[in-house]
Amino acid sequence: MAGERLLAGIEAGGTKFVLAVGTSPTRIVARHTIPTRSPEFTLAEAAEWFEAHGRIDALGIGSFGPLELDSSSSGWGKIATTPKPGWSNCDIAGYFGARLGVPVGFDTDVNAAALAEYTFGSGAAASSLAYITVGTGIGGGLVIDGKAVHGAAHPEMGHIFPRRRALNTDFGGICPVHGDCLEGLACGPAIKARWGASLSELPEDHEAHGVIADYLAQLCHTLFAVSAIELIAMGGGVLKAPGLLDRVRQAAAQLDGGYLPGGSRHRITAPGLGDDAGVIGALLLADCA
Ligand code: ZN
């Protein structure tokens, strides 16, 4: 439509890039998914898809990290040192800014999703929210009073160390840096490495459900205790296991033991935007760029 802004968004993940254009963050008019290959190939393929939609006014990128988000740094807009081959120091925001000639909003994939949930999803009535994804890794973004929390860089919630239960310490974890950090113990590949199957494939009474719920509940309790946020929206592939979110809620309540002030105002829920939180968040970053 003449005069309408056209926003572009990229949810840049380690295995796929989700691309979208929309006339607002929630009015997506086209979307496309491409596999993540080398930066040269992937960025060019994404740019070509956007160029086919004519004049774009702004781009938002929610990316896998770690990222340089300090706007006063010459490294702003880059992916920092990552084990993903070829992607260290990739100037992802700079590439699209130069090629498409538009302002670029840039944040982590999980901060983008947290902003989307806060603005349009489960957090519409909350003052503060964390978005956690549990899939090939574990990541989290934090929004307080409408702003994504950055600090020195950005949160890396997957790399806290949960308490290991007695009789539950024989698995060393798979994080290449920390071993048995939360991601090393409870992400999808960790579950497969430990029990040979995903949670969804394991029987309902298998110990894995309780063990994983306990680890994830420790993250929730920590977030509530540290930041007093109201809401945690928890999604990702592992959370598709039937009953897991309920188990996490119950385990978090048990861990807290009724101590934290705020009580029932601390909530754990599924993302209101489902799997679209990331891509809507990227469009929101474009809208604010
Ligand atoms: Zn780790």
Q: How far does residue 184's CA lie from ligand 1's centre (Å)?
A: 6
Higher pLDDT, 42 or 2: 42
Say whether both 94 and 137 belong to one domain.
Answer: no
Instruction: Quote the percentage of the chain above a pLDDT of 70.
Output: 99
Number of domains in the chain: 2
For ligand 1, the distance from its centroid to the CA atom of residue 161, given in whole angstroms, is 8
Together in a domain, 79 and 126: no
204 belongs to a structural domain: yes
114 within a domain of the structure (yes/no): no
Does residue 1 carry a pLDDT above 60? no
CA of 67 to the centre of ligand 1 (A): 16
Regarding whether 227 and 134 lie in a shared domain, the answer is: yes
The per-residue pLDDT for range 235-266, each reduced to its tens digit, is 999 999 999 999 999 999 999 999 998 888 99
Same domain (yes/no): 215, 261: yes
Per-residue pLDDT tens digits for 264-278: 899 999 999 999 999
Q: Which of 49, 42, 57, 52 is nearest to 95 (CA)?
A: 42
pLDDT of the residue at 169: 84
Please tell me the distance between residue 219's alpha carbon and the centre of ligand 1 in angstroms: 13
CATH of the domain at 146: 3.30.420.40
- Write down the pLDDT at residue 3: 67
Give the residue numbers spanning the domain of 57: 7-108
Backbone angles phi, psi at 231, to 5 degrees: -130, 140
Among the three residues 78, 108, 138, which one is the final residue of a domain in this structure?
Answer: 108
Helix ranges restricted to H, 6-58: 39-51
Distance 154 CA to ligand 1 centre (A): 15
CA 60 to chain centre: 15
Classify residue 275 by its DSSP letter.
Answer: G
What is the chain's mean pLDDT, rounded? 95
Q: Per the domain annotation, does 63 fall within a domain? A: yes
Q: Where a domain ends, among 108, 138, 164?
A: 108
Rounded to whole angstroms, the Cα distance separating 260 from 219 reads 15
Identify whether residues 96 and 176 lie together within a single domain: no
**Residues 126, 73 share a domain:** no
Q: Please write the tens of the pLDDT for every residue from 103-153.
A: 999 999 999 999 999 999 998 889 999 999 999 999 999 999 999 999 888
CA distance 33 to 40: 17
pLDDT at 102 over 90: yes
Specify the pLDDT at position 118.
97
User: What is the pTM (predicted TM-score) of this model?
Assistant: 0.94
Same domain, 128 and 81: no
Angle, in degrees to the nearest 10, between helices 92-100 and 39-51: 30
Query: Residues 58, 193: one domain?
Result: no
> What tens digit of pLDDT does each residue of 178-220 get?
999 999 999 999 999 999 999 999 999 999 999 999 999 999 9
